[in-house]
Amino acid sequence: MKPFSQYAIEIEGDNTYCGSVDVVLKTMFKYSFCKILFNSLPADKTIVISPYIPTPKDLCNAYSAAPIEGWFSTTLPIKFTPGMWDVGSSCYRSGPGGMPDEILMHEILHAYRKAKGSYLSKDFSKKDKDFDTVEEIFAIVLTNIYLSEKGKSLLRKDHAGFDVLPKSWTTSDGIMRDHDYNEWISKFWNTDFALASQISHSTAPFNPFRNYRQVTFGR
């Protein structure tokens, strides 16, 4: 098991695996979004990243597992294999959110919600918003802010795959004009205020939390 930097992250696997995850994490930490997220994690929680083992029915995946020893556990497992998502691999998807660091960011956001005790396994899907659950909305919207900070203009639509978010929703103002997104952003602001308020000051071009803060509080 290898610790990563000063943050409560551990990588579990052989030297080759630990090195590959270390490279992905260092890529992520070039961006302020990632630093904000990890500084918001409870100090008594540790994220443990270990390989995803494919199954015949699920060859390509990554996931944030239920905390070991129940919801009060200090260990938050993530199953993730970087090479699975590299360009040219059988699992690689060219759409937004499909790069190794973007896949891992998505799962870390799930782990964050579990660490904070705010994870909500409530179903949600509509014809134009196929998210499966409310938590996927949270992870995808926030990962899109991360993509925007990376300089990407194509954002992920929903959880059905790696399709591109419709152009009308790719601006902070545009997405907040949609009733569902407006409601979700408000809910996340209220349930995860510390993180949401910090992210609202990110200079990423796509940042609905910044729009929410400005409209709601006038600043």
- Tell whether 152 is covered by a domain: yes
Containing structural domain, residue 9: 1-167
| Cα–Cα distance measured from residue 47 to residue 110, given in angstroms and rounded to the nearest whole number | 11
- Tell whether 206 is covered by a domain: no
Each residue's pLDDT tens digit, 15-64 = 999 999 999 999 999 999 998 998 888 888 889 999 999 999 999 999 99
- Tell whether 208 is covered by a domain: no
Task: Tell me the three state secondary structure of residue 4.
Answer: coil
| Cα–Cα distance measured from residue 157 to residue 83, given in angstroms and rounded to the nearest whole number | 24
76 within 8 A of 114, measured Cβ to Cβ: yes
Q: What is the rounded average pLDDT of the residues 116-134?
A: 85
63 within 8 A of 217, measured Cβ to Cβ: no
* Number of residues that this document lists for the chain: 219
Each residue's pLDDT tens digit, 147-189 = 999 999 999 999 999 999 999 999 999 999 999 999 999 999 9
- Tell whether 188 is covered by a domain: no
What total number of domains does the chain contain? 1
The structure tokens listed for 37 are 């997220």
- Tell whether 159 is covered by a domain: yes
159 within 8 A of 140, measured Cβ to Cβ: yes
Sign of CA dihedral 166, 167, 168, 173: positive
- Tell whether 37 is covered by a domain: yes
| Beta-bridge partners for 149 | none
The structure tokens listed for 63 are 């996931």
- Tell whether 219 is covered by a domain: no
| Cα–Cα distance measured from residue 49 to residue 23, given in angstroms and rounded to the nearest whole number | 13
- Tell whether 43 is covered by a domain: yes
